[in-house]
Amino acid sequence: MIFKRTALKLSTMILLVTLILITVGLFATNLALKNKYDKLDKNDKYWDYKTILSQPFKHVKVTGGNVTQIEFEPSNKPAVRVSDYWKEYKKDTTVRAYVKDDTLYISLAETSKDAGVKDWQRSNSLVRIFSPELLSVDGSDVTMILSDIKQKNLNVNLTGRSNLFIHTLNNNFDTFNIVQRDSCVTNFEMSDDYKGPKKINFQHIKADVFDHSSLNIRNGYADDFKLNMSDSSFVMLSGKSINRLNK
């Protein structure tokens, strides 16, 4: 009888200590999360992205291996930021970034062998870059999104299996130069945040589209349009642009 009571008291003590430890652990975790939250910039919509570089740049050159999407947004504060949810991220391995002569160089490397992780990486923008403007994009095997750009000039050079999505807030563009080789896809359109007509007026477009690449600027028209393309490439234009080419 005494043995049973002792065993009962011991099990009760173990249970009580366990509950106390769990409670203390939860309290400590909540306190740590609260402290982290209090330190966040509440106006930063990308608070869950860490900054790995903050040097100014005007051009970007990316070698991607199509590991993940890279998204650019205009900002007065230049930066390269990586998602906190990217558990496979390794500094200077998964993402290597540096600036030289106004050009941001980014190289991406695959570090996961899990097919599910790879699909998740490719379908999300785990790298975000910011600068007041981006004058040129040079990419090989990359997927990039240029969101809500306001500038009037852009130069693009793509190779490999690259995808570029350009969303502009400026419906009066000056000069757009693009060269695509291998199997690249580019779409140029007005941003969904633009409230006016979804038409873009270009002063000058020079497009060299080769191999199995495609270019979609069906919502744009250029006063001066120079197009050079191979038999296997694909270009989607508005009727107004086609009529201009035929003159």
pLDDT tens for the chain, 247 residues long, are: 544 455 546 677 777 777 777 877 776 666 554 555 555 555 778 999 999 999 999 999 999 889 999 999 999 999 999 999 999 898 888 999 999 999 999 999 988 888 999 999 999 999 999 999 999 999 999 999 999 999 999 999 999 999 999 999 999 999 999 999 999 999 999 999 998 888 999 999 999 999 999 999 999 988 899 999 999 999 998 887 777 765 6
pTM tops 0.85, yes or no: no
DSSP structural state of residue 40? S
What is the C-alpha separation between 139 and 142, in angstroms, rounded? 6
Q: Domain residues of the chain, as ranges?
A: 1-39, 50-245
The separation between CA 179 and the C-alpha centre of its own chain, rounded to angstroms, equals: 21
Fold of 50-245: Pectate Lyase C-like (2.160.20)
What string of DSSP letters covers 107-172? EE------HHHHHHHHTSEEEEEEES---EEEEES-EEEEEEE--SEEEEEEESS-EEEEEES-SE
Residue 53 identity: L
